[in-house]
Amino acid sequence: MSEFGNENPYKPVPVRLSRSWIETEDNNVKSFLFDFVNPEDAEKFEYLPGQFCQISIWGWGEAPFGIASSPVEGEQLLFSVNRIGTLTNRLHATADNEIIGLRGPLGNIYPVELFKDHDVVIVGGGYAFTTLRSLFLFLVDPANRDNYGKITVLYGARTPGLFLYRDELEAWSNYPNVEFVTTIDNPHPDWDGVVGLIPPVLKDIAPNSSNAFAIVCGPPIMIRFTLPILSELGFPEDRIYLSLEMRMKCGIGKCGRCNLGHKYICVDGPVFSMAELNGLVKDM
Ligand SMILES: Cc1cc2nc3c(=O)[nH]c(=O)nc-3n(C[C@H](O)[C@H](O)[C@H](O)COP(=O)(O)OP(=O)(O)OC[C@H]3O[C@@H](n4cnc5c(N)ncnc54)[C@H](O)[C@@H]3O)c2cc1C
Ligand code: FES
């Protein structure tokens, strides 16, 4: 028997689109809420923040998407998808009640066990906030909240209309012992909040690093300029986590499409600490 038991790991399970809505003003990011068609698939599907699924539409292909819902929210699964190519454009055209395919949960998780008794600093840019939404809601859930210290979130977008989950942001900033800062790149007539790129704003907020983990997700340029600031603030490499996005095929460590050094992003990641990543780059 294989490591997957009798199950065929390439076989998607059917999920039905409950509803979808446009997230961003430019119409490029849409969110999708799915229900499992078969209750036994729902029961088997146990996930934690940071994991992803392969979503497929017959005739259009399959691609990985981070799970934006949080396990504390129930059985429905949320994904937020940026429209860039064949599958994502087709996904944007999916009608309510249409049934599509899903494989997962795949990949590793944000190490929420390791984060226990620590402060958590979440830094997200643009539409990469998907699995960070899942993580944030997990940490502030009443069942988990006492396990974690102060939670700082810095979420940046180019313009006010490009934030994901705009209806939820205000409520999130009202949780106790949470500092939730949103920032946009340049002054905008509809915005009276913080203005500035993520790295300098992070420097201004200066979260205390002495007992904290940091998680960073966003475009490569943002990550490149944010990491030195975290170092400056005193975060060691083994307390900084990133979630990597790389082209994938099988999603289960079989095809060799997504390797980084001797690791496969799809099974050993997508979540890595900076210490692990630096080790991998040195190994290459
Ligand atoms: C672990 C993981 C989680 C992800 N989570 C999300 C998510 O939550 N929301 C979301 O919108 N996207 C996410 N992505 C990216 C998503 O998988 C790709 O955008 C998707 O594969 C594009 O499929 P497509 O058929 O529409 O594009 P294609 O038609 O295959 O490609 C269109 C263009 O995009 C480029 N491209 C495609 N995929 C990638 C990629 N992974 N990296 C860089 N360039 C690419 C192609 O080279 C081409 O230029 C994630 C990727 C990974 C690996
Ligand atoms: S996508 Fe096949 S090994 Fe990772």
Question: Radius of gyration of the chain from Cα atoms?
Answer: 19
One DSSP character per residue, 77-93 reads EEEEEE--SHHHHHHHT
CA atoms of 227 and 240, how far apart (whole Å): 8
Q: Residue 268: nearest ligand to its CA?
A: 2
What residues contact residue 44 under an 8 Å CB cut-off, 6+ apart? none
How confident is the model at residue 6, as a pLDDT? 66
Q: Six-digit token pair at 169?
A: 């942001």
pLDDT band at 280 (very low <50, low <70, confident <90, very high): confident
Q: How far is the CA of 59 from the centre of ligand 2 (A)?
A: 21
Note the pLDDT tens digit of each residue in 130-153. 999 999 999 999 999 999 999 999
Fold of 13-106: Elongation Factor Tu (Ef-tu); domain 3 (2.40.30)
CATH 3.40.50.80 maps onto the chain at 119-209
CATH 2.40.30.10 in the chain is located at 13-106
> Which of the ligands is closest to the CA of residue 249?
2
**23 exposed, middle or buried (CB, 10 Å; 0-12, 13-18, 19+)?**
buried
Q: What distance in angstroms lies between residue 51's CA and the mean position of ligand 2's atoms? A: 15
Task: Give tens-digit pLDDT for 81-111.
Answer: 999 999 999 999 999 999 999 999 999 999 9
Does the model's pTM come out above 0.75?
Answer: yes
Which numeric CATH code is attached to 119-209? 3.40.50.80
How wide is the angle at C-alpha 150 spanned by C-alphas 149 and 155, nearest 5°? 135
Helix (H, G, I), strand (E, B) or coil at 53: strand
